[in-house]
Chains A and B, each alone.
Chain A
């Protein structure tokens, strides 16, 4: 099978530049009921070897974001604008053939549900060697050896046995390891992990996250860890971007995000999670309302109808993502948490009892 290659001329690669630069990426789906603005202006940069955690709930656009960057979107009824530069080369808008050259060798993805992401009628070994033979032109024997070594490196016991098995013969944790092995087979430099542990038990989760971290360090890979679980990113990501309704509402290094949260949504999210250290029957603080309609989002800030800090300005003007002092903490809010104007706004709202308790 002829293989189209995207050759990144090494001389052009500027190692001082971030590995991945995304600028004002927008992905809109054209549907019967209107344009769904799934990703609506996302920008970030990712350096080699670093992990970016992308956190959001369903409808936040985090999955679409990763698909957009990788180019895994449908071709019809999709409008994509903005740029995504991988090692300086624009990948948003590349043709299918060129993209295929990138997938596996430069960037790869690990998906959420290993049962549906692995081919159920293909032996596990073949699924790995397929990638190796296609991208790296290995012959059958070499590919098989490499596959066995890969399975061993991801912690699968008895790899020689496993290459001959089918996905349904493996447990959930093992399947996910196989997925990781497939993703890493050709040595990509950028890995998207899209909810890699959501479908797994919590004890297996830890193993898989450890594995990803170990592989990342070993290969000096950049990783985008997409999840809805703030606990997962707290221990594993260098920077975290919180998404809501298609936009990044806050982005900061991990410790900064937790210690000095600025966006009300992040704060509300943190407060609504039941935590082990709380005593039992602690009342959870709830975010009232529901995520916005992505076809016709509210005027002004997307989060304003549900925000405890919202002021009239928030319903009219959309806040811009600005960088706080320190240069690495971005947030989009007119009355951020932990600032005097934010505190005032909250106090005012609480006094007015104007917090809309519109229950979903």
Chain B
């Protein structure tokens, strides 16, 4: 089966995700060879559906998942998500779709930053999206904000340098004959003060931007009080230290505080930011995946088991309330009993949050359990697409059949079939895949035609589609 073709795709108006003729190729070092990881896959998903993508190692299913997310963009092909052509998007526009399309990864522990707390990790999406999107801000406000923030940052930095140099001179390590500027104790003290004010301004600006400091009436009152306090202190210090030119920077640095107020609405319209509303959302999501937020928030990933880490990853994916989640082998690294927990959890979350899932795995039994539609892949091509129960009942593609027969069944009555019926040989190299149908080297039904002509996917009936010249199920004409 080296299936190309789009016969199995449904009407674009019915589906929210549609990928056509995806091709992903990687160069192999500098040899000029290419790994044909994905060669012409087309899939689509309806809203609320779970599409299962199954295949063994090297079939390109994970690569397909990443290509859908544009990580990176596929070599060629189109991906349409809710009407947007993803392959044509770049930069900010591409970033903006991320709120609607999320991903869960295979290794639960490696998908979480070991140095951050769980609360931090799950709040991260809110922090990323706390700032309003660029079109929402007016040009004047933006410009003023940038200037104020820059001045605050610059004063902080400059003041710090002055302070350090002053300390260095203080200890006498660096003999300097200067009597003013950074090389004096006076200069050091002034520098330190300016640094603190500048840093304070920059931090306030940022905090308001992240939604940590409210922009409402109470927040405004707090900010103005802070402004007032700083203003008074600066006047006093100015008087005492007798007019160092550096102190001019102080009022400008304080502008940053005001700018923060004007510029950053403390969270964009869509997402609550990191303030109390955001915290509530995070707690809610953590509870719905089965973790106690009070306990979990302060801990780091290494304090949790694999199953719990996967729950945290799921929580993180849910925070932005996406429409679609691509699950890349989410249970492969987990124990059997934990697998069941996570699979049930995914079903629950799907129902609760109205999700659409693309579930990628190598275990057909797992995929069959969670999916509404299954696509079987081999060496970068599609073999068969069918509803899961039908797929099991009557596999149309020889590869699917072999896959089903090879899966060990926990029932001693079912003896494994004779050796002759099993697939022999190994997977061909994706650098030089077989001509025509890529499965022909291992297919018990292969004939000459299979080497010459690549099979195109066609309907078999009841929503089942197969790409094979000699399928196991009769193809109606």
A-to-B contact residues, CB < 8 Å = 57-58, 171-174, 201-207, 209-210, 228-232, 234-236, 254-255, 257-258, 268-270, 272-287, 290-291, 359-360
Are A272 and B422 in touch, CB under 8 angstroms? no
- Residue ID in chain A nearest B292 by CB atoms: A359
A-B pairs, 7 with minimum CB distance: A231-B408, A272-B340, A274-B369, A201-B56, A359-B290, A230-B410, A284-B340
Q: Does residue B415 face the partner (Cβ distance < 8 Å to A)?
A: yes
Are A272 and B406 in touch, CB under 8 angstroms? no
- Residue ID in chain B nearest A235 by CB atoms: B416
Across-interface contacts of B57 in A (CB, < 8 A): 172, 201
Are B368 and A258 in touch, CB under 8 angstroms? no
Shortest Cβ gap from B228 to chain A (Å): 50
Number of interface residues of B (CB under 8 A): 51
Within the complex, which residue of A235, A254, A284 is in contact with B409, where a contact is CB–CB below 8 Å? A235
With A228-B335, A231-B408, A360-B290 in contact, do A280 and B372 touch (Cβ < 8 Å)? yes
Q: Mark B328-351, 1 if CB is under 8 A from A, else 0.
A: 000000011111110110010000
Measured CA separation A212–B225 after assembly (Å)? 78
Across-interface contacts of B410 in A (CB, < 8 A): 229-231, 234, 258, 270, 273, 275
- Residue ID in chain A nearest B331 by CB atoms: A274
Shortest Cβ gap from B48 to chain A (Å): 13
Q: Does residue B308 face the partner (Cβ distance < 8 Å to A)?
A: yes
Q: Does residue B452 face the partner (Cβ distance < 8 Å to A)?
A: no
Measured CA separation A278–B168 after assembly (Å)? 75
Across-interface contacts of A172 in B (CB, < 8 A): 57
Within the complex, which residue of A203, A232, A277, A285 is in contact with B340, where a contact is CB–CB below 8 Å? A285
Q: Does residue B432 face the partner (Cβ distance < 8 Å to A)?
A: no
Q: Mark B395-410, 1 if CB is under 8 A from A, else 0.
A: 0000000111111111
Measured CA separation A84–B307 after assembly (Å)? 35
- Residue ID in chain B nearest A359 by CB atoms: B290
Measured CA separation A283–B341 after assembly (Å)? 10
Q: Does residue B97 face the partner (Cβ distance < 8 Å to A)?
A: no
Are B343 and A274 in touch, CB under 8 angstroms? yes
Shortest Cβ gap from B425 to chain A (Å): 8
Are B335 and A57 in touch, CB under 8 angstroms? yes
Are A207 and B422 in touch, CB under 8 angstroms? yes
- Residue ID in chain A nearest B371 by CB atoms: A280
Are B338 and A360 in touch, CB under 8 angstroms? yes
Are B416 and A286 in touch, CB under 8 angstroms? no
Shortest Cβ gap from A234 to chain B (Å): 5
Are B388 and A280 in touch, CB under 8 angstroms? yes
Measured CA separation A290–B303 after assembly (Å)? 14
**Which of the segments B84-92, B103-111, B248-256, B358-366 contacts the partner chain?**
B358-366
Are A202 and B409 in touch, CB under 8 angstroms? no
Are A205 and B408 in touch, CB under 8 angstroms? yes
Across-interface contacts of B343 in A (CB, < 8 A): 274, 284
Are A281 and B305 in touch, CB under 8 angstroms? no
- Residue ID in chain B nearest A283 by CB atoms: B344
Are B369 and A278 in touch, CB under 8 angstroms? yes
Across-interface contacts of B307 in A (CB, < 8 A): 290, 360
Across-interface contacts of A291 in B (CB, < 8 A): 335
Across-interface contacts of B419 in A (CB, < 8 A): 210
Which parts of B258-290 form the interface with A (CB within 8 Å)? 290
Across-interface contacts of A207 in B (CB, < 8 A): 422-424
Measured CA separation A58–B414 after assembly (Å)? 26
Are B408 and A360 in touch, CB under 8 angstroms? no
- Residue ID in chain A nearest B343 by CB atoms: A284
Known: A270-B410, A276-B365, A284-B343. 19 other contacts (CB 8 A): A58-B335, A174-B426, A202-B364, A202-B407, A228-B335, A228-B336, A229-B408, A234-B409, A235-B409, A235-B415, A258-B410, A269-B337, A273-B340, A280-B387, A280-B389, A284-B340, A286-B340, A360-B290, A360-B341
